[in-house]
Chain A
Amino acid sequence: MNPTIKLTGVVKRFGKFTAVDGLDLEVPAGVTFGLLGPNGAGKTTTIRMIMNITKADEGEIRVLGEPMSEALQERIGYLPEERGLYRKMKVIDQILFFASIKGVDRKTAMERLERWIDSMDLRPWLQKKTEELSKGMQQKVQFLGTIVHDPPVLILDEPFSGLDPLNVVLLKDFLTEFKRQGKTVVFSTHVMEQAERLCDRIALIYRGKKLLDGTVKEIKHAYRDRVPLPPPVEPEPELEKIFIKAVEESGLSAPTAEALR
């Protein structure tokens, strides 16, 4: 089967600086793919080139076997690294606007997002202006915009940054569900624990070049003798779990629509 995303010899230069240097990448269909690498490695640049927001100087990029086009864009859900919303717009209008530029009508959009809105506790905020939302909540709105057209391919640039542990868990659940639905997901992250738990395959890039590429299992196997194993640890509760427990036990719940009025 054709890979969902395929990059061959992709190069991107900014002036004299080469940000992406002859990158080859293959993301098979239905796979959750982690794009890892230090700051400035070229992850965002690569993702932007896949989305055709910046143009590659050399090389070839294919998504679902085709070069990027407007029709193809409608089959991809893209979450950019720099999130952005219209500050003065109501949350619901914002979501419907995202739907309309993806060619989804209001009714379909609302039906499709019903469940997500509730699981993200966004319903009381729908009539609020975006600027009244906290950063994390804005990010959830943005995420809804990414999935409103139910795309088979998702490309997420650091989707976890800025989210609290509760929402990190929520997003992990979403990604797991997408994988179950057979969607292809590519995301970049700096948190290895997430990559390890969620990804089938990862690629590590550095200075625009690929250092590692393969299934998590293969890579672990290859490095087994060269990387020291972690010392056995005394089992103790993880801080993340404590965070979630404490919030639960506070007996407080997310604000209701009445409380916000």
Chain B
Amino acid sequence: MSAVNPKLLAVIRREYLQQVRSKAFWISTILIPTLGLGFIFLQVALSKSLIAKGKIGVVDLTGRLYQPLLAEYAARGDDDEDAAKKAEEARDEEGRRNRSLSTKIDFFKVDATAATLPDVRRKLNDDVQKERIKAYIVIPADALQKGDAEWRAQSVKSDLVMRETIASLLSRAATKERLKDQGVSPDVYDKARLKVTLDPREAKEVETPEASKNAGFNLAISGIFFFLIYISIFVYGAFIMRGVLEEKNSRIVEVIVSSVRPTHLMLGKIVGIGLVGLTQYAVWALLTLGLTLPAVVGALGLGATLPPIPTGTLVAFVVFFLLGYFLYAGLYAALAAPFNTEQEAQQFVMIPGMMLVLASTTWFFAFNSPNGMLAQVLSFIPFTSPLLMFMRISVQPPPAWQIGVSVAILLVSIWAVAWLAGRVYRVGILMYGKKPTLPEIFRWVRQAD
């Protein structure tokens, strides 16, 4: 391999040191994980707030379900008597939800008959609207035959979790009453009831060991890495844009291009900032390692250490981050060069920004059916593929040839974008004054060397 051009190296070096020494670098190094964690905490807090506590009026026209409902609701709290069962229940989504719910719902009985129902309703509706109570349910006289009851709340859309939980409590109570009608002891129900779980496993003779064991953790890792690729291309793209404009506005470009080829200046900036990105990842990796060290974990009183991140995911992350970054970086450089201010450049820099946002919204396809038609197509299109292919690989590795084709398409696209970008950049950085029009920019591309 021939030695890298020393001037290019000088440009890379300057760019790298300048960025790493800047405040912006350290601020973003702290801010991105803080935002990420903040986002997760917000999600957790939000999901907790879904289980709102509240008073629930019960109008029981069958006259048989109110007490059993209370019994079922009380029984939820007794479920986790012994520790073993508690641990088991902790992994069980429904169990956890019910337990936290059982401490928060406050049922009260509302007496009514078919005749007084309209008046009772009027009173209860008023209570709901004035927020004296959360909601009320009306169990009609034929509920034990038909299984229909009413949920009345301020909005039919809210409190989905609570409604579903009460529905399942009622179902259980009603089933037991119906068993009694058949002359069977309701205890049989509790004894006979069995919850079956489906354990997701790969359909292979030899399973990938991590795949089945730490499925939840691996999924979370995929999501976090996906987010990282997305956010860092965004952040570093902005760095590139700002750097190009700074060099142009400070007029230093003219000095530099009198000894460095413009393409090298552009490439140096892109590579330098790419290295800054890798440095940032290294800082995060070290921080994470430090935090998950057994001693630290013990000291902080955290649970067991996290399982290791699958190697395939890590490799795919680095490869597709770099490919995606280089693809978008060229666009950012080219789209900043023709302009004098960030405001002028903004409307064009929006283009890669929008493409990124679009690409990021497609995670669902890769997540939901990694080998589905849409996921496959999107993992070949250059501007979505860095994100999509990474997601597919980390969720369920596609055939090797697909990865190969995706990488090949990306490499060709990077080359094409770099070629175009170089031409626009070369002319653009020495253009001052009037904002160029799109046809002018196209003319620059066509200009011969």
Partners in one complex: yes
Binding site for B on A (CB under 8 A): 51, 53-54, 70, 73-74, 76, 78, 80, 82-89, 93, 97-98, 100-103, 142, 145
Interchain residue pairs with CB less than 8 A apart (24): A53-B254, A53-B430, A70-B259, A73-B258, A73-B259, A78-B255, A80-B254, A80-B255, A82-B251, A83-B251, A84-B250, A84-B252, A86-B18, A86-B246, A86-B247, A89-B14, A93-B17, A98-B255, A100-B13, A100-B14, A101-B10, A101-B260, A103-B6, A142-B255
CA distance A100 to B430 in the complex (A): 22
Residues 258-289 of chain B, each 1 if its beta carbon lies under 8 Å from chain A, else 0: 11110000000000000000000000000000
Number of CB contacts from chain A to chain B under 8 A: 62
Q: Is the CB of A101 within 8 A of B430?
A: no
Q: Which 4 A-B pairs have the closest CB atoms?
A: A84-B251, A84-B252, A100-B10, A82-B251
Q: What residues of A have a CB within 8 angstroms of the CB of B256 in the complex?
A: 101
B22 within 8 A of A: yes
B11 within 8 A of A: yes
Q: Is the CB of B430 within 8 A of A89?
A: no
CA distance A89 to B255 in the complex (A): 15
CA distance A54 to B255 in the complex (A): 13
Q: What residues of A have a CB within 8 angstroms of the CB of B257 in the complex?
A: 53
Among residues of A, the one whose C-beta sits closest to the C-beta of B8 is A101
Binding site for A on B (CB under 8 A): 6-7, 10-11, 13-14, 17-18, 22, 246-247, 250-261, 430
Interface centre among B7, B18, B254 (most CB of A within 10 A): B254
Task: Take A101-B10, A103-B6 as given contacts and tell me if A87 and B259 are in contact as well, using a CB distance cutoff of 8 Å.
Answer: no
Q: Is the CB of A97 within 8 A of B14?
A: yes
Among residues of B, the one whose C-beta sits closest to the C-beta of A131 is B250
With both chains docked as a complex, state the minimum distance between the C-beta of B326 and any C-beta of chain A, in angstroms. 23
Among residues of B, the one whose C-beta sits closest to the C-beta of A157 is B254
CA distance A76 to B259 in the complex (A): 9
Q: Is the interface of B mostly helix, strand, loop or mixed?
A: helix
Q: What residues of B have a CB within 8 angstroms of the CB of A86 in the complex?
A: 18, 246-247, 250, 252
Q: Is the CB of A78 within 8 A of B13?
A: no
Q: Is the CB of A101 within 8 A of B252?
A: no
CA distance A260 to B252 in the complex (A): 26
With both chains docked as a complex, state the minimum distance between the C-beta of A75 and any C-beta of chain B, in angstroms. 10
With both chains docked as a complex, state the minimum distance between the C-beta of B253 and any C-beta of chain A, in angstroms. 7
Interface contacts beyond A73-B259, A84-B247, A98-B255: sample of 5 additional A-B pairs, CB < 8 Å, sorted by A:
A53-B254, A70-B261, A80-B258, A93-B17, A101-B259
Q: What residues of B have a CB within 8 angstroms of the CB of A102 in the complex?
A: 259
CA distance A145 to B255 in the complex (A): 9
Task: Take A54-B430, A86-B18, A97-B10 as given contacts and tell me if A78 and B258 are in contact as well, using a CB distance cutoff of 8 Å.
Answer: yes
Q: What residues of B have a CB within 8 angstroms of the CB of A98 in the complex?
A: 255
Q: What residues of B have a CB within 8 angstroms of the CB of A78 in the complex?
A: 255, 258
With both chains docked as a complex, state the minimum distance between the C-beta of A204 and any C-beta of chain B, in angstroms. 25
CA distance A145 to B11 in the complex (A): 15
Q: Is the CB of A74 within 8 A of B254?
A: no
Query: Could you say which of A84, A100, A103 contacts B255, with CB atoms under 8 Å apart?
Result: A84
CA distance A54 to B430 in the complex (A): 8
With both chains docked as a complex, state the minimum distance between the C-beta of A159 and any C-beta of chain B, in angstroms. 14
CA distance A51 to B259 in the complex (A): 9
Q: What residues of A have a CB within 8 angstroms of the CB of B254 in the complex?
A: 53, 80, 82, 84
Query: Could you say which of B11, B18, B258, B430 contacts A88, with CB atoms under 8 Å apart?
Result: B18
Q: What residues of B have a CB within 8 angstroms of the CB of A88 in the complex?
A: 18, 22
With both chains docked as a complex, state the minimum distance between the C-beta of B7 and any C-beta of chain A, in angstroms. 5
Among residues of B, the one whose C-beta sits closest to the C-beta of A146 is B255
Among residues of A, the one whose C-beta sits closest to the C-beta of B260 is A101
Interface centre among B17, B258, B261 (most CB of A within 10 A): B258
Q: Is the CB of A51 within 8 A of B258?
A: yes
Q: What residues of B have a CB within 8 angstroms of the CB of A83 in the complex?
A: 251
Among residues of A, the one whose C-beta sits closest to the C-beta of B248 is A84
Interface centre among A76, A85, A86 (most CB of B within 10 A): A86
